[in-house]
């Protein structure tokens, strides 16, 4: 006796259902095993209400996992993925938590429905407080020294003030903004460098930019040096005469380049009295004249004139 269609369909129905389920599961298992995964580290944008600023630490990036077919996930470029934590719904100071939103902007098509997008962390918590804006002086952070014999005569920072924006608690005690370290070693001449500003807190920003120009003026160091117990000599004395007493010693104050004065020796300085006009014995007050190397200035010396006694030279028997 032949079986009807209905009887055929429901004959051994349990086994047929189980076979169908097994086929579906095998198909799903096959599809799952053929799915690819791709990971990205994406910067996290924190959006807050105008007039409020974040304090404390928070994730600066999130890990995004794309799961789908190879063709789908590898058509997505990293710069087409953005991550946002939007706190603009909170108008007051306090601590709040929101989910991280992942946006895909693929130029190849919209694949959000054909692949799985996971993000870690899924939520972000921040603390926000009143935001303040101040204008603060820039303070260059100078390290080391210019070479020996040179000096940083002056410097200029442009701009001299910078607009700073951030949480009230982080800015209320700040008096200036420091630059990155500016090394003076090896600077023999004027120089100009660009230097970044260092935020005094984790959540402080510079709306007008964080780079300034530093110009240093370097010149040879000028010093003052005192020398004492220096000898005075006589010149152009008529051989008929002699000086009856020892000439006094002289002290002098000089100004000049540190490099030049450090190399200066007593023998490089000449102090003398001109005796060319002495024609008869006696005591005369004569000016002390100075001969010094070029590039050195005489601030003072003493004595500037001395009494000198002359007599005839005794004839030898």
Q: Which domains are seen in the chain, by residue range?
A: 31-130 (2.170.120.30), 132-220 (2.170.120.40), 223-312 (2.170.120.30)
For the ranges 13-17, 183-187, 245-249, which has the lowest average pLDDT? 13-17
For the ranges 77-81, 104-108, 145-149, 192-196, which has the lowest average pLDDT? 104-108
Q: Classify residue 134 as left (phi > 0), alpha (psi -120 to 50) or beta.
A: beta
Segment 18-39 shows an average pLDDT of 62
Q: What is the pLDDT of residue 316?
A: 47
Give residue-wise pLDDT tens across range 262-290: 999 988 999 999 999 999 999 999 999 99
Segment 185-202 shows an average pLDDT of 95
Is it the case that residue 2 has pLDDT exceeding 60? no
Is it the case that residue 1 has pLDDT exceeding 50? no
């Amino acid at each position: 006796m032949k079986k009807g269609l209905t009887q055929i369909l429901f004959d051994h129905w349990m086994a047929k259902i189980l076979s169908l389920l097994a086929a579906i599961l095998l198909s799903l298992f096959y599809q799952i095993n053929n799915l690819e995964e791709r990971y990205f580290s994406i910067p996290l944008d924190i959006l807050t209400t105008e007039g409020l600023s974040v304090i404390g630490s928070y994730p600066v990036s999130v890990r995004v996992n794309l799961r789908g077919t190879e063709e789908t996930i590898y058509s997505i470029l990293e710069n087409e993925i953005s991550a946002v934590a939007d706190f603009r719904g909170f108008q007051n100071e306090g601590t709040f938590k929101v989910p991280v939103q992942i946006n895909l902007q693929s130029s190849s098509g919209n694949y959000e429905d054909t692949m799985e997008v996971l993000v870690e962390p899924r939520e972000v918590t921040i603390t926000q407080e009143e935001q303040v804006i101040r204008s603060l002086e820039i303070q260059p952070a100078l390290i080391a020294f210019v070479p020996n014999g040179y000096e940083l005569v002056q410097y200029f920072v442009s701009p001299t003030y910078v607009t700073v924006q951030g949480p009230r608690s982080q800015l209320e005690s700040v008096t200036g903004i420091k630059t990155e370290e500016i090394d003076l070693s090896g600077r023999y001449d004027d120089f100009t460098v660009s230097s970044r500003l260092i935020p005094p807190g984790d959540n402080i920003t510079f709306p007008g930019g964080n780079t300034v120009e530093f110009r240093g003026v370097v010149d040879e160091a000028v010093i003052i040096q005192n020398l004492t117990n220096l000898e005075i000599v006589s010149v152009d004395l008529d051989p008929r005469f002699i000086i009856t007493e020892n000439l006094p010693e002289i002290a002098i104050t000089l100004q000049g380049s540190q490099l030049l004065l450090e190399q200066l020796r007593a023998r490089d300085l000449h102090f003398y009295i001109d005796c060319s006009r002495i024609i008869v014995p006696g005591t005369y007050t004569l000016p002390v004249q100075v001969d010094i190397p070029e590039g050195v200035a005489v601030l003072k010396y003493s004595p500037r004139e001395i009494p000198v006694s002359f007599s005839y030279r005794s004839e030898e028997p």
